[in-house]
Amino acid sequence: MDTLGWVYYKKGNYDFAIMEFSDSLAKIPENATVYYHLGLSYNKKGEKTRAREALEKALSLDATFKGAEQARNLLSGM
């Protein structure tokens, strides 16, 4: 579901991306990458509070996941 969500994200369909990432997290709730992807999607939708929460959760789960540096950069710019 994360992969499908990422396809939706890349196509700019953030609502469907968020739905897929949320479904993915219901099955694997401790996955930092999925939280990161969710945060990116919320950010693109302009939902900054939700984006911040998801990105912070990703970093709290794993401070070194692939994308962690980008997540920190995005958070510092919010």
Domain boundaries defined on the chain: 2-76
Read off the tokens for 6.
């990422």
Q: What's the pLDDT tens digit per position in 28-78?
A: 999 999 999 999 999 999 999 999 999 999 999 999 999 999 999 999 999
Closest-CA residue to 6 (of 59, 72, 49, 16): 16
**Model pTM?**
0.95
pLDDT of residue 2: 87
Instruction: Read off φ and ψ for residue 66, nearest 5 degrees.
Output: -65, 115
Token couple for 35: 């939280």
Instruction: Average the pLDDT over 13-33 and give the result.
Output: 97
The domain 2-76: what is its CATH number? Answer: 1.25.40.10
